[in-house]
Amino acid sequence: MHLAHARTLDSSDPLAHYRARFEIPDPALIYLDGNSLGRMPKAVRPLMDELLTMWSDRLIRGWNEGWWMDLQTRIGDKIGRLVGAEAGEILIADSTSINLYKLAAAALRLRPGRTKIITDDLNFPSDVYILESVCRLVGKEYELVVVPSDGLNGPLVGLEAALDERTALLSLSHTVFKSGWTYPPAEVTAMAHRAGALTLWDLSHSAGSVPVGLAAAGADLAVGCTYKYLNGGPGAPAFLYIRKDLQSEIRNPIAGWIGQDRPFEFGLEYKPAPGLRRMLTGTPTILSIAAIEPGVDLLLEAGLDALRAKSLAQTDFLIELWESELAPRGYTLKSPRDHAVRGSHVSLAHPEAWGIDQALIEELGVIPDFRAPDNLRLGIAAIYTSYEEIYRAVEGMARIVDEKMYEPYRRGSLEVT
Amino acid sequence: MHLAHARTLDSSDPLAHYRARFEIPDPALIYLDGNSLGRMPKAVRPLMDELLTMWSDRLIRGWNEGWWMDLQTRIGDKIGRLVGAEAGEILIADSTSINLYKLAAAALRLRPGRTKIITDDLNFPSDVYILESVCRLVGKEYELVVVPSDGLNGPLVGLEAALDERTALLSLSHTVFKSGWTYPPAEVTAMAHRAGALTLWDLSHSAGSVPVGLAAAGADLAVGCTYKYLNGGPGAPAFLYIRKDLQSEIRNPIAGWIGQDRPFEFGLEYKPAPGLRRMLTGTPTILSIAAIEPGVDLLLEAGLDALRAKSLAQTDFLIELWESELAPRGYTLKSPRDHAVRGSHVSLAHPEAWGIDQALIEELGVIPDFRAPDNLRLGIAAIYTSYEEIYRAVEGMARIVDEKMYEPYRRGSLEVT
């Protein structure tokens, strides 16, 4: 009955044809980890071939012929359309962690005299390490406050209480990596601004799947990764966002030649480029950056509203199936039911989660994501995930418990997954 | 006569057959800018195709199957063999500028109480910006001293005079980007160590073309780029080196998840990975990193001694041709004649250098590199440059002056080249 329903939903899905735009060598594989590494758009392969020909044929001239030098801002502008930023507010560079470091350090300089950075314990651990790194490097008086979460939910009350006249920056994941709980950016930004603090968002788990509305929220700064819902490829470079009116006052804390006003003059005196380009540091990794564009183009073609509508319908479907099939088998829902604060993945906890994860991959060809201690994350990439896949994954999760298929995969201690 | 001589040299060149291992779509193009962007090894294209299949087929499993996760250290070890480092002392990450920032900031923590960084004005401008950035971020008391150069040569006397008990770090380009002058790393390192300072080398213009001998020199820290003589592709990620016995005391100033001891446990407490991996920050850019390996493999196969011998013979040949053909036409040699301090490129100055550079590219299909105000850099990549190409380039440079072919290309002011 559920299967028939899934098939009906697939047959009336207006986005279903986008699946054919991705290279899917094993159609039987059920892939629910597009929130860790998205599938490869078919357009990447010919693009990469063309790019290698540019390298071998144009050689150094490739830098002067525009296409390479414009990649960071051109793709940045396209991502801007997915997260509600204006043209010239986003560019591609480095990794999410490096970008977070640069923007956090720059933010402290924009709020002299303020020595506190605030985050929460739902944030991606790397973000916490980075914010600690910034505090440690800029001076002993700087402090990172990690506000404890309220169950699965972002600690809005605790954050508001922590914000004070010493706070320079509030940095949060928009959609948090374990539960998928999603902050309301406008509300949080207003809260930070009332205290005179800036906001710095990590959009890694929302860009391309959840509306962000950076401009509408009045957000100050943001970073995000491109290899999850944006389908940019393994370790694809990240993006950074700076609200337009902050760009002229911001200073790059790692000033490098590509962010210089006239990089090819090679003068010893650093003069920042106008606008966002001043945030660049080293030479851009052209092959990895170029591979990001086809995935972003597909999402723009499909439209974020349609993608979000399908993602909510699919996570609803998954939560319904959890309720009828998985809750009785010991799975607990660890993601919000409320659409307003839901991301595009659903976390289900189970005492045997590690063994279930391994059995799903090895025995049933279903790939979820395991997050310690007991979370199975099921990522919905609306651009290519089908309802039938969601049904099959749930069917597998039920079967593994019924047949105790997790037993051979149990581990004494957690290791790298 | 010179042409016949060039052809004789080519026919007895033991490395000549390596040229066929590179994709050269236009064999008539004379490319002397491999010190800016090296040619593409043929092996890159099938490798990239295989890698895209890994992405589409293995998806997230690619991270657990080793090949991706090992890239940074595996290629790092190979580069180590080209620059005289031991296995486990080099890894690929980020850009040269980011790596320089991380190592310089880390070095300051290794020398507490010392507040001076020393460099020279021959250094690549981005290195100077980065060192200034580090000083600015860590605190007001930190100071960057830029020792003025002694003509084309590194200011050894001035550097020694500047080194004192307040100096934490001496950071220099091993081979400098304009003249190609090359520091003796052992001598300079000993000088720095006598003052209790650490050394941080930028090997961008020497790695893969000039012997460095990091271990033999007792060098402390180094960075370098991979898209020049290593032929890693446009904007290919950079490498960093930390001498083994420093690795356990060094702390990553931009601590991120990939440098964590157990990155896939996602704990909020940062514990650095043992050894060099602690210097990693964000997710590695797999496509761009993987493309580095074929070029490095070719250099290892050819052997650095043979490459250096050919590079010296070719720069000798070029300097001889300059003397007989170009000096009478107003070109000045701006690179050292002494083998001991010569890199793998030769700079020739001319009052009409900009117009000559443009005419060479547009009219004669010869690609050198222009560096303000009046330098033409001719880069010798011994792995694929032929003697005949060098002869043809010189012939073109003579003809352009004789026929005043630079005139239509003159410019009132320098712009981005």
ipTM rounded to 2 decimals? 0.96
pLDDT at site A240: 98
A215 falls in which pLDDT band (50, 70, 90)? very high
Residue A271 touches partner B, C-beta closer than 8 Å: no
Which of the two residues, A139 and A99, has the higher pLDDT score?
A: A99
Mean pLDDT, chain A, rounded, equals 95
Chain B environment of A414 (Cβ under 8 Å): 265
Three-class secondary structure of residue A356 per DSSP = helix
Domain boundaries, chain B: 2-31+303-409, 46-300
Q: What mean pLDDT comes out for the span B78-92? A: 98
Disruptive mutation site among B97, B99, B229 for chain A (greatest number of A CBs within 10 Å): B97
Residue of A nearest to B417 (CA): A264
- CA torsion angle for B358, B359, B364, B369 (degrees, to 10)? -30
| Residues in B 232-261 with any Cβ partner in A closer than 8 A | 233-238, 252-257, 260
Per-residue pLDDT at B416 exceeds 70:
no
Closest by Cα among B237, B163, B231, A254 to B172: B163
Instruction: Read off the tokens for A365.
Output: 């060809």
**With pLDDT > 70 as the criterion, what percentage of chain B qualifies?**
99
According to DSSP, the residues that pair with B224 across neighbouring strands are B239
As a whole number, mean pLDDT of residues A287-296 equals 98
Neighbours of A400 (CB within 10 A): 25
Nearest C-alpha of chain B: how many angstroms from A209? Answer: 19
Please report which confidence band the pLDDT of residue A414 belongs to, taking 50, 70 and 90 as the band edges: very low
Q: What is the pLDDT of residues A70-98, one digit of tens each?
A: 999 999 999 999 999 999 999 999 999 99
Per-residue pLDDT at A263 exceeds 90: no
Beta bridge partners of B333: B348
CA distance A305 to chain B (A): 26
Residue range B312-322: mean pLDDT, rounded: 98
pLDDT digits (tens, 9 = 90+) for B63-74: 989 899 999 999
Q: Which residues of B touch A228 (CB under 8 A)?
A: none
| Distance, CA of B69 to CA of B306 (rounded, Å) | 32
Residue B65, both tokens:
């199957």
Q: Under an 8 A CB cutoff, do B262 and A416 touch? A: yes
The separation between CA B155 and the C-alpha centre of its own chain, rounded to angstroms, equals 20
Identify the residue whose tokens are 């290698």. Answer: A52
Cα end-to-end span (Å), chain A? 34
Asked if B271 contacts B131 with a C-beta cutoff of 8 angstroms, the reply is no
Percent with pLDDT over 90 in chain A: 92
From chain B, the residues in CB contact with A31 under 8 A are 59
The pLDDT of B284-291, averaged and rounded, is 98
H helices of B197-333, in order, are 214-217, 286-290, 293-302, 304-321
Q: Do B126 and A101 touch (CB under 8 A)?
A: no
Edge to edge, what strands does the sheet with A198-202 contain?
A90-92, A239-242, A221-224, A198-202, A167-173, A116-120, A143-147
pLDDT band at B412 (very low <50, low <70, confident <90, very high): low
CATH 3.40.640.10 is right for the domain spanning A46-300? yes
DSSP designation for A154: -
A124 in active site: yes
Would you say residue B208 has pLDDT above 50?
A: yes
CB B34 within 8 A of CB B384: yes
- Which chain A residues are within 8 Å of B102, Cβ to Cβ? none
Asked if residue A21 has pLDDT above 50, the reply is yes
pLDDT at B137: 86
Say if residue B263 is preceded by a cis peptide, omega within 30 of 0.
no
Alpha-carbon torsion B238, B288, A237, A258, what sign?
Answer: positive
Distance from the Cα of A1 to chain B's closest Cα (Å) equals 31
Query: Rounded CA gap, A248 and A262, in Å?
Result: 17
For residues A16-35, average pLDDT: 97
Q: Which residues of B are catalytic?
A: 124, 202, 227-228, 377
Give all strands (DSSP E) within B88-148, no chain letters: 90-92, 116-120, 143-147
Q: Chain A contacts of B53, Cβ < 8 Å? A: 25
Residues of chain A with pLDDT > 70: what percent?
99
C-beta separation of A217 from A185 below 8 A: yes
- Look at B37 and A63 and tell me if their CB atoms are within 8 Å: yes
CB within 8 Å: B133 and A255: yes
> What's the mean pLDDT in B319-323?
98
- CA dihedral (A274, B128, B164, B103) positive or negative: positive
Asked whether the beta carbons of B219 and B189 are under 8 A apart, the reply is: yes
Rounded CA-CA distance B413/B341 in Å is 33
> CA angle at residue A314 from A313 to A315, to 5 degrees?
95
The answer, yes or no, to whether the previous bond of B373 is cis (omega within 30 of 0) is yes
Express each pLDDT in A36-52 by its tens digit. Answer: 999 999 999 999 999 99
| B304 min Cα distance to partner chain A (Å) | 23
Domain boundaries B2-31+303-409, corresponding CATH code: 3.90.1150.10
Cα–Cα–Cα angle for B130, B133, B136, rounded to 5 degrees: 155
Chain A residues inside the 8 Å CB shell of B40: 52, 55-56
- Under DSSP, is residue A146 helix (H, G, I), strand (E, B) or coil? strand
Q: What is the mean pLDDT of chain B?
A: 95
Predicted confidence band at A412 (pLDDT cuts at 50, 70, 90)? low
Binary contact (A177, B25; C-beta < 8 A):
no
- Within B13-124, where are the H helices? 44-58, 61-64, 67-83, 96-110
pLDDT-derived band at B413 (thresholds 50, 70, 90) equals very low
Touching A: B residues 24-63, CB under 8 Å: 24-26, 29, 31, 33, 36-37, 39-40, 44-45, 48-49, 52-53, 55-57, 59-63
Q: Considering only CA atoms, which of B225, B209, B216 is closest in space to residue B302? A: B209
Closest in A39, A97, A254 to B256, CB measured: A97
Q: B200, B103 in Cβ contact below 8 A?
A: yes
Nearest to residue A319, comparing CAs of A306, A334, A308? A334
| Cβ B131 vs Cβ B267: under 8 Å | no
Q: What is the pLDDT of residues B134-179, one digit of tens each?
A: 999 888 789 999 999 978 899 999 999 999 999 999 999 999 999 9
Please name the residue of chain A whose CA is at the shortest distance from the CA of residue B102: A254
Query: Which helix (H) or strand (E) element contains residue A224?
Result: strand A221-224
